[in-house]
Each structure stands twice: as structure tokens, then as C-alpha cells.
Amino acid sequence: MSDECENMALPRILVVDNNKARIQQLEAVFQFMGYAVQAVGTADYASCFSETDQLCGVFVGDGIEKQATVVSDIVERANKIPVVLLINKGTALQVSTAITNSVFQVLEWPTTHPVLKPILDKFSASGGHTVFTVREGGDRRAPTAQRLK
């Protein structure tokens, strides 16, 4: 194997969540899909943004204390790295418009591979450094028809 292949790092996904069961499920799915996963609680996420070379996306779980403040801080620290907010099914109406407008996408959890894969494909399309713009207004939750495919 060439040195180049040995030194290639997997694209990294940061999971910020206090829900241990969801973290375990996400780690298993992302690792299966070929991503390195770094999972931290909301008390420890700040230090994870010092090395963003291989960071291609951030997933933030809902139900955290001071959610709006934490999500806004993560979006700011991510600096053009897409941030996806994971919400539990049925809580969509409880997510504030300010949070919804600040993240790349709001995704109901649990989700399916056909819904998750296109999001991850967008992350890695150009080696994890695609410049994403947050869409203004509108509802960025995955449409029901798309989730049911």
C-alpha cells in the first residue's frame, strides 16, 4: 500500500449530543458508511473545533439545555461546515424558527439510510470543504415523502 493511502484520514463527523443511545446508533451508522466519528456531550464540544481539516459535518441532538445558545455557538464555530439538527419524531413544532434557519438541515430521528445518505454525500462531495449556504426561510425538515422512500 502506498504511503499516500496509509496517511489518508477518513472524513470526520462530529456528533454533539447528550443522548447516549442516539450517539451509539449514529456512531454505528457513520462508521459503517466510512466516516470517523467523534462524539461528545454538550459540555465538551468547544474543543472539537480546533482541528477542522477532515471535519465534514456536525450533527447536534435536540433536547439539550439552552438549545438555541448551544446550536448558535456550534454553527458559529463550524464556520461553513454544515450543521444538522437531529430532532425526535413529533417534536418538529417545538423547534424555534431561529434554530431552524441557522442550521443546514433539521432531520427527524430516527431516520433511514435513504434520507441520511444524500446528506452525507453532500458533505463529502469535495473532500469535506464544500461551502454551504443556509437557506433563508422555509422548512428544511426532510419532506415526508422523502423519508418514506
pTM above 0.85, yes or no: no
pLDDT score of 131 more than 50: no
Q: What burial letters (b/e) apply to 32-42, b meaning 16+ CB within 10 Å? A: ebebebbbbeb
d(CA 133, CA 101): 11
Most confident range, picked from 69-78, 87-96, 109-118? 69-78
pLDDT of 124: 66
pLDDT tens profile 104-122: 999 999 988 889 999 988 8
